[in-house]
Amino acid sequence: MRYNQISNSLFIKNRNSFVSKMKTNTLAVLSSNDVKHNNADDVMGFTQNNDLFYLCGIDQEETILVIYPDAYKKENREILFVKETNEHIKIWDGEKLTKEQATDISGIKRVEWIQDFEKILQLMAFEADGIYLGHNEHIKRVTHIQQTQQDRMIAWCKEKYPLHEYYRAAKITRELRLIKSDEEIELIQQAANISVNSFKRVLKACKPTMREYELEAELSYNLIKSGATRHAFKPIVASGKNACALHYNTNDSICKNGEMILLDFGVCYANYNSDTTRCFPVNGTFSKRQKEVYSSVLYCLKEGSKLLKPGILPSDYESQMAKLVETELIKLGLLDANEVTNQDSEKPLYKKYFMHGTAHHIGLDVHDVGLYSRTLEAGMILTCEPGIYIPEEGIGCRLENDYLITKDGNINLTEAMPIEIEEIETLMR
């Protein structure tokens, strides 16, 4: 693994929390993600199923975790199934985890080879009254039925054990994963620290006539050099009018003198993520108008982030943030105050220049699982990312930090990333 091994005490603690939410005499079966193929004999980089990783820390394909806290036999209460190395795998792909290594990582004493999963599960399943199964329940999920290992596991279990009661593991993990432990906070902070240094590298490299992907390369260099697992998502390097497309990421345009660049990127370290956005002038000096727009967005970030504290509903936070941006849009001459006063509340005028939400949970997923009907609590980590987009002026500006909610307010985990106009211009000189 690229990252320092995480103490298995984290995963033991996570499993204990999961077990405390399970119904009596039920077992849970969680499986790893598939290895996704490109064309011919090529595959994409493997990304672990985050619920499985949360509970055992194993970052390897073909892994299954079974938890059965009420099992009659003590050795059946936690079983980890991993892929067995053979000579062919050793030659072509290298070693896989040994049983001893899997125990060391996860804290699970009983480790079996995955080919024995069906036989061993059958010895336990009829003792249990119900089964928890994992699935991607994110509101924006992009999976389709029968196309993932989780889908296949659900279909297989229901065919094999049709009369059991079935429950959603994700209903438990979406509750637990929102509150980060000290160990998780440290890992997200490490991802944020790598982000800070990556951004400074981009600032020093940027100059007119560069391609956007050259700046993306600066991010990638520092990310890999720092031991990060990967980009948290495909970075957005959007110069000029490209910044007005919220998910632009072709990153192939020329960065022109006089334009501003919107850089939205994240770092994945030990499967935990950061998510930050900064804007800066291609030539190192903000124009008068760029300063005006940037200052408005920065004001909204500073004031809006103060709202991220225990007890606030995300919907209330979002409505207050929208009011902040609306006021700035009037100051910038983009909206008329009288028209705003008389606007249709169902079709607010600010949405022409500001059309997205500004806070999402972050953790093992960039948009971490969890219900936004839940008020904010200490231990949650959220982004704050207001923006203003003016296509007719070729200016798109968004600024984003990551905040840890504390009992008294919040802590900016990305405080060290340059954000003041003077600081950015100084670094770019």
Q: pLDDT tens across 240-289, in order? A: 999 999 999 999 999 999 999 999 999 999 999 999 999 999 999 999 99
pLDDT at 65 > cutoff 70: yes
Kindly report the CATH number that applies to the domain delimited by 8-176: 3.40.350.10
The reported pLDDT for the residue numbered 311 is: 98
- Distance of alpha carbon 97 from alpha carbon 103, whole angstroms: 10
Which fold would CATH assign to domain 182-428?
Creatine Amidinohydrolase (3.90.230)
pLDDT at 139 > cutoff 80: no
Single out the residue of 183, 404, 140, 184 nearest to residue 272, CA to CA: 184
Pairing of β 410-412 and β 381-384: unpaired
Mean pLDDT over all residues of the chain? 96
pLDDT at 146 > cutoff 60: no
pLDDT at 292 > cutoff 80: yes
- Distance of alpha carbon 93 from alpha carbon 264, whole angstroms: 34
Sign of the alpha-carbon dihedral angle for 122, 125, 126, 131: negative
Please state, in angstroms and as integers, the Cα–Cα distance from residue 63 to each residue in 17, 38, 81, 179, following that order: 21, 22, 6, 25
Q: Which band of pLDDT confidence, cut at 50, 70 and 90, is reported for residue 25?
A: very high
The mean pLDDT value for 356-367 works out to 97
Q: pLDDT tens across 83-94, in order? A: 998 888 888 889
- Distance of alpha carbon 196 from alpha carbon 150, whole angstroms: 36
pLDDT at 145 > cutoff 70: no
Q: Which residue has the higher pLDDT, 36 or 277?
A: 277
Pair 394, 259: CB distance under 8 Å: yes
Q: Which residue bears the tokens 């672990």? A: 48
Q: What is the share, in percent, of the chain residues with pLDDT greater than 90?
A: 90
Q: Which band of pLDDT confidence, cut at 50, 70 and 90, is reported for residue 143?
A: low
Q: pLDDT tens across 363-414, in order? A: 999 999 999 999 999 999 999 999 999 999 999 999 999 999 999 999 999 9
Where are the chain's structural domains? 8-176, 182-428
Q: What is the dihedral of CA 107, 108, 112, 113, to 10 degrees?
A: -40
